[in-house]
Structure 1
Amino acid sequence: MSKTTLGLIAAGSAAAGASITALIFSSRSSTPITTPASTIPAPAPLTSGFPAPQPVLTPVPQPLPSTTLPLAPVNPPGVLKYGLTPAISDTSITPSHLAAYNRMTRNPHWVAEHFTPQSLSLNNASRRNSVFYEDAAIPPMFRAKLSDYFRSGYDRGHQVPAADAKWSQDAMDSTFVLSNMCPQVGDGFNRDYWAHFEDFCRNLTKSYPSVRVVTGPLYLPKQYPDGKWRVSYEVIGNPPNVAVPTHFYKVIYGEESLHNPTCKVALGAFVLPNTEIPNSKSLRDFEVPLEAVERASGLIFADKLPIERRKKLCSDINCEIMVREFDRVKQQRTALNAGQIAPAQIAQESRRW
């Protein structure tokens, strides 16, 4: 089985992996599609004094003059006089990120962030001073609400992490807006593998002086026992209106220079299922072609970046997450000594790790 086929298969999520194989892992043909030329044959050369047979040309019907067209008895655009607002992606610019919001799913379409070694070295903010809040720029009927997440069983999952915006309290606070959130599985994903992945992105500043990341949700189909493919996802809230993504993607741009507009850029694309993922899983298993994310998201990435300036991220650096299990064990032991958790709970957590 090819690497691209294996790309998103996480432990315990075989169906999700199969869906990705069918939906986004098929590569576009590299053979250009051409339009056939005219089928009218060219005249044959003259032979032995006999003229070559000439092709029979079929007359091409000409359109009737506009004066002879019948007057249309209907006027579909007439409905616009009553008002018909098309689907809107509410775009927002905050101190920490640029984003587009999906009113139907109550999740972001995408969020884009930028960080550098300097921005990450600053420590002028604390999560303890930040609170989750609703996005007042989104109309109330389309807005994700704090109550939608209450007892939902899902985390309010940052798409732009708070840890990427420690350079100011305002920047960190802006990451807590609900339009930057998606429902994410907590244990084993948002608080574990996904957090390690976010840390991997920050560590890229050791190799690149400028890093940009676009993150967003996906809603991918899976194959059912009857052989058909269907998109199925949970919806939370009261009334149920916030979609729970089946997967998440990150597209990473590692820029070799912060100021040179013609520098090379290392590109990497990853798709992870919204489910518990063992920390032993290789990040390379979730690497996908950039085209795969484009097919699944409907977005086009880096189309203005010339091919000669592109590099493959995972050919340039080691695409593996670093899991600090000893930190988790130390935290659990501290909680045990404080009487906050029972020894059996530590044993259970250790088996899960």
Structure 2
Amino acid sequence: MSKTSVAVIAAVSAGAGAAVTAAMYSLRSSSKVETVAATPITTTSPAISPPKNSLSAPSPPVFAGPATTFPTPATSTAVAVPGADSPVNPSGLFEYGFPGPVADVAARQALISSFDRRLRNPHWVVEHITPASLAIRDGDRKHSQFLEDPAVPEKFRAKLKDYFRSGFDRGHQVPAADAKWNQNAMDETFYLTNMCPQVGEGFNRDYWAHFEDFCRRLTQTYPSVRIVTGPLYLPKRDPTDNKWYVKYEMIGNPPNVAVPTHFYKVIFAEDGKVGGNVALGAFVLPNAPIPNEKPLTDFEVPVEAVEKASGLEFATKLPVQRRKRLCAEASCALVIKDYADKQKAFSKGKR
């Protein structure tokens, strides 16, 4: 079967369910790891080194260096300066401010996040787990609480009241269980900039939780695992007019926070050697109940598919010769655990 076109790939919706998602994103006909592009994720870095005072530190600006000020013809070469004979100068508007878009990037102890002000969800959240980080148990979830992120301007924040009685869980993108090595690190995973509205029963408290456990179990094989997680908003064909539409619920009063149709994880499992191999795996799951018996490989997709659906890039600096396909190198199978009792203790607080 030939590779599914990106237009069709993007068409899968939560309403279509897990089975349709699996069909659209099938990789069974392709053994080749897709050539992909990149977010600033390094494939070789030292052990976890928590930044100082990260809890209260403001988010770094989107633009580095001089570009932290709004670009104008006098300060930025990115803005074209009209010739002497030009009757107009559109860039003169930037004297009053640069419209954006702006992404609030926050570097915290266990994660780095990029927040989407328009949809009040993260663009992506990056984490790094190792056997050593998962072996430490100095953090306890019962001491953590969900928090609005003060690093985001108040008018653009996702707020606790937006989730109240919404019917959706505040779904961690970087799970709290991956940050047990430090209580402060765990607390920081509870910022709403690390959350998206997720279906609870059958997804966040079930299949998604098993998927997070799968990522942790990769550290039994790989000494270093880096993961990018985030939401997607994919189109679905309307049977009434046969046209494609992007449709997602908004929660909050007034409606502020978008409910993603899907979620992705892009996994970089490193062999620990300098210049060594990296096993790449990309997965897209619908924000909907998924039966636990559904194979995880049914949701495996080319990294390129996530890039085209999200507008992001993931591995341009990773040479092709160092790339391996994760599900060809390791068993991409879930271990189903009973999270029901633990989740009941937090289910009321998650909503």
Q: TM-score range by the shorter chain?
A: 0.7 to 0.9
Task: Tell me by how many angstroms 1:301 deviates.
Answer: 1.0
Distance (Å, rounded) in 2 between the aligned partners of 1:122 and 1:212: 18
Confirm whether residue 89 of structure 1 aligns to residue 92 of structure 2: no
Tell me the equivalent position of 1:13: 16
Out of 251, 255, 258, the position equivalent to 1:243 is 258
Higher relative contact order (CA 8 A, sep 6+): 2
Confirm whether residue 309 of structure 1 aligns to residue 312 of structure 2: no
Which runs of no fewer than 5 residues in structure 1 stay unpaired? 31-68, 336-353
CA-to-aligned-CA distance 1:96-142 (integer Å, 9 cap, x gap) = 10111100110000000001011101100100000000100100110
Distance (Å, rounded) in 2 between the aligned partners of 1:92 and 1:307: 30
Out of 226, 229, 238, the position equivalent to 1:224 is 238
Distance (Å, rounded) in 2 between the aligned partners of 1:133 and 1:246: 24
Confirm whether residue 74 of structure 1 aligns to residue 88 of structure 2: yes
Task: Tell me by how many angstroms 1:4 deviates.
Answer: 5.9
Distance (Å, rounded) in 1 between the aligned partners of 2:117 and 2:178: 26
Shift in CA distance, 11/284, structure 1 to aligned 2, threshold 3 Å: farther
Task: Tell me by how many angstroms 1:324 deviates.
Answer: 2.3
Out of 268, 271, 295, the position equivalent to 1:253 is 268
SS at match of 1:191: helix
Tell me the equivalent position of 1:173: 187
Confirm whether residue 200 of structure 1 aligns to residue 203 of structure 2: no
SS at match of 2:328: helix
Where do residues 273-352 of structure 1 align in structure 2 (5 Å cutoff)?
273-325=286-338, 328=340, 331=341
Distance (Å, rounded) in 2 between the aligned partners of 1:167 and 1:272: 28
TM, length-normalised to structure 2: 0.75
Tell me the equivalent position of 1:33: none
Q: What amino acid maps onto 1:202 in structure 2?
A: R
Out of 101, 110, 134, the position equivalent to 1:120 is 134
Tell me the equivalent position of 1:150: 164
Shift in CA distance, 72/235, structure 1 to aligned 2, threshold 3 Å: same
Task: Tell me by how many angstroms 1:85 deviates.
Answer: 2.8
Structure of larger gyration radius:
1
Tell me the equivalent position of 2:117: 103
Q: What amino acid maps onto 1:184 in structure 2?
A: Q
Tell me the equivalent position of 2:174: 160
Instruction: Please give the root-mean-square deviation of Cα atoms over the aligned residues, in Å.
Output: 3.1
Q: Kindly, what percent of the aligned residue pairs are identical? A: 59
Distance (Å, rounded) in 1 between the aligned partners of 2:104 and 2:180: 25
Distance (Å, rounded) in 1 between the aligned partners of 2:159 and 2:14: 32
Q: What amino acid maps onto 1:285 in structure 2?
A: D
CA contact (8 A) 1:16 1:222 kept: no
Q: What amino acid maps onto 1:200 in structure 2?
A: F
Count of residues in Structure 1 that have an aligned counterpart in Structure 2: 288
